[in-house]
Amino acid sequence: MSADDPKTLVSTDWLAAHLPDPDLRILDASWYLPAEGRDPRAEYDQAHIPGARFVDIDDVSDARSELPHMVPPVEKFISRMRALGVGDGHQVVVYDGAGLFSAARLWWLFKLMGKADVAVLDGGFPKWQAEGREVEDLPPVIRDRHITVQRQAHLIKDVTQVAAASKLGSPQIVDARSPARFQGEEEEPRPGLQAGHIPGSFNVHYRSLLNEDQTMKGTDALRAAFDEAGVDLARPVITSCGSGVTAAILSLALERIGHAQHSLYDGSWTEWGSFRDLKVATG
């Protein structure tokens, strides 16, 4: 796979060269944990890549669920994208203010909705700014665009399906949280959750897939990270994390290395860790 792939990951050079393209749509999907004290919308208003539109992943979610940023109904996704002027025939590039973090979640959501021409900006806004590239603080002119959606149900798993996978050992469950959280040695950032991991799951910390500048590692290094964790890349994978955000980084990495048989546990540990009747492993 080439370094620049408009269906998975593109470089800042690629994006700069394609900025004039009329069918390019750039989305700022920045989101941060509350403890970081950052306001992604305020940061977007102050400076963003020219033409970028801001997407609140908590808004493009299922408001009926008590769990954070769960997948929205198809109708809500369509409504939010049309309001952003994103539709059929567009090449979408998603970025965030952390480098490569929450942008992968929106990339995965587009993929779930059957939209393939979507890529994450490698290194995100920090890399764009560090290279001295153009930014602006003006909102873009948005024109409504029709969008069709075909939900890809095989890309998402619920708690019942994950419990079956945990019991039977297939598909493999791969957790993107830090080793300390995975092992149950560190308290969860959300109160009330048990500490530990889904029995039988593997741990590939999402940060192990990134370079120091928050760009994604090359395909050989990505394969090595999964191999070292004991993941069999010849078998299907369910990605998981704290709340379904960094699990999408694992999904993006799997897509980069050509592993198509992957899905994402949307409720992730926020759901699993809240159920006292579900088994939890530590160590």
pLDDT tens for each residue of 228-253: 999 999 999 999 999 999 999 999 99
Which pLDDT score, from 0 to 100, does residue 136 have? 98
pTM, rounded to two decimals: 0.97
Which pLDDT score, from 0 to 100, does residue 1 have? 42
Say whether both 137 and 160 belong to one domain.
no
Which domain covers residue 35, as residue numbers? 9-151
Long-range contacts of 138-142 (CB under 8 A, 24+ apart): 139/53, 140/51, 140/52, 140/53, 140/85, 142/53, 142/83, 142/84, 142/85
Domains in the chain, number:
2
What CATH code is carried by the domain that includes residue 164?
A: 3.40.250.10
Pairing of strands 118-121, 156-157: unpaired
- Would 4 be classed as within a structural domain? no
Query: Cα separation of 12 and 215, whole Å?
Result: 10
Residue where one domain finishes, among candidates 101, 127, 151 = 151
Cα Rg of the chain (Å, integer): 18
Q: Is the pLDDT of residue 63 over 80?
A: yes
Average pLDDT (271-279) is: 96
Say whether both 184 and 266 belong to one domain.
yes
Task: Tokens 């269906």: give the residue.
Answer: 7
Q: What is the pLDDT of residues 144-175, one digit of tens each?
A: 899 999 999 999 999 999 999 999 999 999 99
Residue where one domain finishes, among candidates 96, 127, 151 = 151
Which pLDDT score, from 0 to 100, does residue 70 have? 98
Say whether both 194 and 160 belong to one domain.
yes
Say whether both 126 and 245 belong to one domain.
no
Question: What is the CB neighbour count within 10 angstroms for residue 135?
Answer: 14
To the nearest whole number, what is the mean pLDDT of the chain? 97
Say whether both 194 and 68 belong to one domain.
no
Which pLDDT score, from 0 to 100, does residue 35 have? 87
Average pLDDT (30-35) is: 92
Q: Please measure the distance between the N-terminal and C-terminal CA atoms of the chain and give it in whole angstroms.
A: 36
- Would 239 be classed as within a structural domain? yes
Helices of type H across 90-217 = 103-112, 124-130, 159-168, 179-182
Q: How sure is the predictor about 189, in pLDDT bands with cuts at 50, 70 and 90?
A: confident
Query: Cα separation of 95 and 7, whole Å?
Result: 14
Which pLDDT score, from 0 to 100, does residue 125 have? 98
- Would 84 be classed as within a structural domain? yes
Which pLDDT score, from 0 to 100, does residue 34 have? 86
% residues pLDDT > 70 (the chain)? 99
The β-bridge partners of 101 are: none
The one-letter code for the residue type at 125 is F
> 175 vs 64, 146, 226, 240, CA distance in Å?
26, 36, 11, 5
- Would 2 be classed as within a structural domain? no
Q: Is the pLDDT of residue 2 over 60?
A: no
Residue where one domain finishes, among candidates 97, 124, 151 = 151
Long-range contacts of 225-229 (CB under 8 A, 24+ apart): 225/253, 226/174, 226/253, 226/254, 226/257, 229/174, 229/202, 229/203, 229/204
Query: What are the catalytic residues?
Result: 241
Q: What is the pLDDT of residues 212-231, one digit of tens each?
A: 999 999 999 999 999 999 99
